[in-house]
Amino acid sequence: MKTCMYKHAGQWVASSVTLVVLTMGCGKKNVDIATHPKEKPATVTALPNEANLAEIELTQKAYDRLGITTANAQRRSVANVRRLGGEIMIPPGESAVIVAPVAGTVEPPADAEMPQPGSQVTAGQRLFSFVPLLTPERFVPTPAELAQIANAKASLVSLQMTADGDVRQFAEQVAAARITLERAEQLQTDRAGSQRAVDDAKAQLAMAEAGLKVAGERTAELQRLESGMESGSPNPIAFDSPIDGTVRNIPVTLGQTVAAGNTLFEIVNLEELWIRVPVYVGLLDDLRHDGSVDVTRFGNDGQQEKISATPVQAPPAADPLSATADLYFSVQNAGRRFRPGERVAVSLPLDSASESIVVPVNSILYDIHGNTWVYEKRADRRFRRTRVLVERTTDEFAVLTRGLNEGTSVVVNGTAELFGTEFGTGK
């Protein structure tokens, strides 16, 4: 115990007890802090920002091995486009629907099987035979069979008259279409007509000739059937595929008896398809109608394969309810990439242009989430991954909405290698 002296009212007074108590209290507090430090309520870890996370500095050896090339972002005048939805459809004349000319029974083709829907067939390939119900199966027909024979004969006569009328009608249409085409060509030669009128006349002539061909084939088949009926032993009708294509529908089965006019099968040619694009009528004058367009499926456009489609002349069509007019484009369907009825995205070029920042299309990097990036060159052998927003891409350039300034140097060859180096998957 140590006695402390302090002066009070001019006198020194001893205060040993108070000093002992204070000294003992301070010693206990120091012991508690040393053995039991105060626990923080939470731990906050500072995360690096996106720029610091994505900066890479290569050694000279690694830089030489990767073969990195760079290019500067440029400001260019780029033609504007309008992206609209289109519908894949089968062109006219590329779908063949075969119906039963008379009542009969479906039989399998000789030494072959009837094709299934979705299978490929060639023009002239035998699909099945059709046995007409014109004579009874027994020598002594029943009253019901006699009535059936009479009905079949009456139906055959009616179908023959209808087929002859169709032949004459389509023949007149072909003659009229040829006159219209000759007049349109003469007007174009005299510089008083347009190429569009000539193309429309050619389309009308082609449709009339196709109708005349089908009507003639139907008439010839009915005549052959009529001759067989008169001889008392009608021959089975062999149904062959009229075109190369895909079997779309076969609503009959082997051994089934069908009535006259029922659909037997449908063949469609999917090698070339049309795209119908409804366009707002106020936008028609701003579009370029003389060039090809890019077609993609809906989704992440940056990683979608672009297919080129060319404009085609088609009968004019419009919808007054939606105030749209239809434009048609032809696209090659190699590998059956498109299907009839599918919706696609069509990029229509406009007459106007705008200034935009562009970079080589190979410099754009896509991550697993579909985000777009470029590697910006910050210094010699040092690169930083920078996020950019791609408006659209062409065969050579990627048009950017934001992310880079003009003159910024970006990596063109070696983006994938830098990405692998950054995340530890590269060599």
CATH of the domain at 279: 2.40.30.170
What pLDDT was estimated at residue 228?
Answer: 55
Q: In this structure, are 230 and 188 located in the same domain?
A: yes
Q: Is the pLDDT of residue 331 over 60?
A: yes
Is residue 367 one of the residues assigned to a domain?
yes
Number of domains, the chain: 2
Do residues 319 and 401 share a domain? yes
Helix/strand/coil percentages in the chain, nearest 5: 30, 35, 35
Find out whether 415 and 424 touch, Cβ atoms under 8 Å: no
Q: Find the mean pLDDT for residues 205-229.
A: 76
Q: Residue-wise over 295-331: b if at least 16 C-beta within 10 A, else e?
A: bbeeeebbebebbebebbebeeeeeeeeebbbbbbbb
Q: Does 260 lie in the same domain as 112? A: yes
How far, in Å, CA of 279 to CA of 293, rounded?
A: 14
From 218, 234, 268, give the residue that closes a domain. 268
How much is the mean pLDDT over the chain? 78
Question: Whole-angstrom Cα distance, residue 377 to residue 380?
Answer: 8
Q: What are phi and psi of 218, to 5 degrees?
A: -65, -40
- Using an 8 Å Cβ cutoff, are 81 and 350 in contact? yes
Pairing label, strands 389-393, 397-402: antiparallel
**Same domain? 256 vs 121:** yes
Quote the strand ranges of 297-388, DSSP E: 307-311, 318-319, 324-332, 343-360, 365-366, 372-379, 382-387
Q: Which of 109-113, 114-118, 135-139, 222-226 has the highest mean pLDDT?
A: 114-118
Contact 276, 326 (CB under 8 A): yes
Domain hosting residue 293, numbered range: 64-89+272-422
Q: Which residues of 198-227 are buried (b: 16+ CB within 10 A; e: fewer)?
A: bebbbbbbebbbebbebbeebbebbeebbe
Instruction: State the Cα angle at 420 between 419 and 424, rounded to 5°.
Output: 125
Query: Which among 247, 268, 289 is the end of a domain?
Result: 268
| 100 or 158, higher pLDDT | 100
Q: Tell me how far apart the alpha carbons of residues 392 and 80 are, in angstroms, rounded to a whole number.
A: 10
Q: Is residue 305 part of a domain?
A: yes
| 296: confidence class by pLDDT, cuts 50, 70, 90 | confident
Model pLDDT for residues 251-286, shown as the tens digit of each residue: 888 888 888 888 888 998 888 999 999 999 988 888
Q: Helix, strand, or coil here: 243? A: coil
